Amino acid sequence: MEIGRTPQPAAFRDAREVPLGETMQCQRCGHVHMVPEQISTAFWRDEGLVVIRDIPAMVCASCREEYVDDATALAIDMMRGAGLRADGAVARIEVPVFSFVVLQKAGTG
Ligand SMILES: [Zn+2]
């Protein structure tokens, strides 16, 4: 899963209206073998990252592209809209922060 600053979570970039569990073809690579999995997504809120995990999805067995159905994407939008209060979090993670400018000056960028 990519972490992006875009308003829409990266996981839903290629999401289509596909009922989970039915035969579907990967929009990215054309593979037809999809595996039901639980995925995570991350997005920016104020100055911090917020993660929602345990999201039901279909994942391409070949290229790992993730697909969620419309109802799930809508539910996540509603959760984000409701504010995701910190006291409702089930876990916390520490995230290293890098500077593009500093890395580039150091010759690693
Ligand atoms: Zn694929």
pLDDT tens column, 27-77: 999 999 999 999 999 998 877 889 999 999 999 999 999 999 999 999 999
In the reported structure, the alpha carbon of residue 108 is separated from the centroid of ligand 1 by a whole-number distance in angstroms of 31
pTM for this entry: 0.70
With a cut of 50, say whether residue 16 has pLDDT above it.
no
In the reported structure, the alpha carbon of residue 4 is separated from the centroid of ligand 1 by a whole-number distance in angstroms of 20
In the reported structure, the alpha carbon of residue 101 is separated from the centroid of ligand 1 by a whole-number distance in angstroms of 34
CATH number for the domain running over 10-105: 3.10.20.860
Burial 70-82 (b: 16+ CB within 10 A, else e): eebbeebeeebee
pLDDT tens column, 72-99: 999 999 999 988 888 889 999 998 999 9
In the reported structure, the alpha carbon of residue 25 is separated from the centroid of ligand 1 by a whole-number distance in angstroms of 8
In the reported structure, the alpha carbon of residue 26 is separated from the centroid of ligand 1 by a whole-number distance in angstroms of 5
